[in-house]
Structure 1
Amino acid sequence: MIILAFFLGHWYLSVLMQTLFLHRYAAHQMFTMSKGWEKVFYVLTFIGQGSSFLSPRAYGIMHRLHHAYADTEADPHSPKYSDNMMDMMWKTRQFYNDILNNRDSIPAKFKKGVPNWQWMERFGDRWLVRLAWGTAYTLFYIQFATSPWLFLLLPVHYLMGPVHGAIINWCAHLYGYTNFKVADTAKNLLPFDFLMMGESYHNNHHKFGGRPNFGGFRWHEFDPAYPLLLLLNKVGVIRLRFGRDEAYM
């Protein structure tokens, strides 16, 4: 039970930080926050993703390109141009690293307003830091795992951030249902998104790129992250900016 609770806690904290901070804030600027709160969210993302910490700056830029060029050769991650999920993940990693290390030639409009706490960006990307997180996960399993089979979950801990991205960027462009006709293959992966905190409503999101609520178009569509956004907005941590369908650019 301890291992299961640890795995679920890591899964949901990681995906929550990815959807709130990296996706809805860094990429789409659906809300604003102070520089102080921005650093708090950087730290929470670092804790949530751990060994697979993703740069909010690089993620934000890369995801904007995904929306601008979805399912074309310029898309950083499209199943149409990859042989399998691992191939797509490897191509995404190369694209991400080029942005992270300033080796890209991406137009400036895609970089406007992305968060960039340089110290945390560098610290979270250090291999020694990633190895320290991975070692901590492993030691926790050695202490509390009641079966050798449970150790099969460890690779997911090591790669939690990319795993979440691959589920949506691969599966939600191949499987699921659509509410709207869009210019790409984005689909709603789950009728009730208990797994990805609203991220699986990919077709809805591609239709309304700036809408903070990814669900809500059918009776069964509930975006678990949206009530949290409303709460954070109410208490003044963030300020929601966009309406139903306004985009980030």
Structure 2
Amino acid sequence: MLVIIVFFLCHWFFSLFFHSFFLHRYASHQMYTVSRGWERTIYLCTWIAQGSSYLVPRAYAVMHRMHHTYSDTEKDPHSPHFFKDVIHMTLHTARIFRGFVTGKDLPEAQFTKEYLPAWNRLDNFGNKAVIRVLFGAAYVTIYILFAPNAWWFLLLPIHFLMGPIQGALVNWCGHKYGYRNYDNGDHSKNSSPFGIVMMGELFQNNHHHAKNNANFARKWFEFDLTYSIMRVLHAVKIIKLKPLAVSV
């Protein structure tokens, strides 16, 4: 049982960290600079951490930039205020995401002006159905070997869809439930005063107020774990945090 608990927690937090640290704060917002070698290393770690639910960075970044520009309007790719439940919202988001990944749909030029990290060989490989299935098979194997009973297998769908599930939680809860520190002209909210479980990502109201601020926490009782890790990486010169573009 302990192996399963540790595996689940490691998968959850590593997937979420690289989602927040690389896909969100770097690919989408360019909150820090990083050398080419470290970018590739972080890129690879993102793929491994997300595994079967790997989100292609360039498509994620374009879609997230759209979200900020059109927050909680009909053109927002994932506002919860236009869908009856989180599943319909997520399916809508997935269709937009696939269109950007395949090139079937082209984003507006304003969303591609800033740097978009791309590693075409890894993206093409990691996005293959067979690779996603192999990751899923690895998760199942761990449960077969270490799960004390069949009930634990109910956690497997979360492993299979880890990235989209984490994104859906942030997009749904972060624009429906919680408190507001700022009036941003949208429905963004801070869904948790601590944000540990989502590593700072549920401070959506704070983030929408100052999207270039790498620290999503504002009040004394708010804590952004991803930002704390980023400060360590900055201190050891793996990344270089950019000065804040806005005052808060």
Matches within 5 A, 1:73-222: 73-111=74-112, 112-215=114-217, 217-222=218-223
Q: Could you report, residue by residue, the CA deviation over 1:115-147 in whole angstroms, capped at 9, with x for unpaired residues?
A: 011111111100000000000000100000002
Q: Could you report, residue by residue, the CA deviation over 1:149-205 in whole angstroms, capped at 9, with x for unpaired residues?
A: 111100000000000000010111111111111111010011111111110111000
- Maintained 8 Å contact 2:173/2:202: no
Structure 2: runs of 5+ lacking an equivalent: none
Matches within 5 A, 1:38-57: 38-57=39-58
Runs of 4+, deviation exceeding 6 Å? none
**Count of aligned pairs:** 245
TM-fit CA distance, 1:104: 2.1
- Maintained 8 Å contact 1:16/1:197: yes
Q: Could you report, residue by residue, the CA deviation over 1:12-37 in whole angstroms, capped at 9, with x for unpaired residues?
A: 00000000000000000001111111
Structure 1: runs of 5+ lacking an equivalent: none
The root-mean-square deviation of aligned C-alpha atoms, in Å, is 1.1
Percent identity (aligned) = 44
Query: For the residues of structure 1 that align with 2:82 and 2:169, how far apart are their CA atoms?
Result: 16
Tell which deviates more after alignment, 180-189 or 98-107. Answer: 98-107
Q: Could you report, residue by residue, the CA deviation over 1:63-119 in whole angstroms, capped at 9, with x for unpaired residues?
A: 000000011111110111112100000000000011111122322221130101111
Tell which deviates more after alignment, 137-146 or 75-84. Answer: 75-84
TM-fit CA distance, 1:242: 3.4
Query: For the residues of structure 2 that align with 1:171 and 1:148, how far apart are their CA atoms?
Result: 30
Query: For the residues of structure 2 that align with 1:8 and 1:93, how far apart are their CA atoms?
Result: 25
- Maintained 8 Å contact 1:212/1:242: no
TM-score where L is the length of structure 1 = 0.96
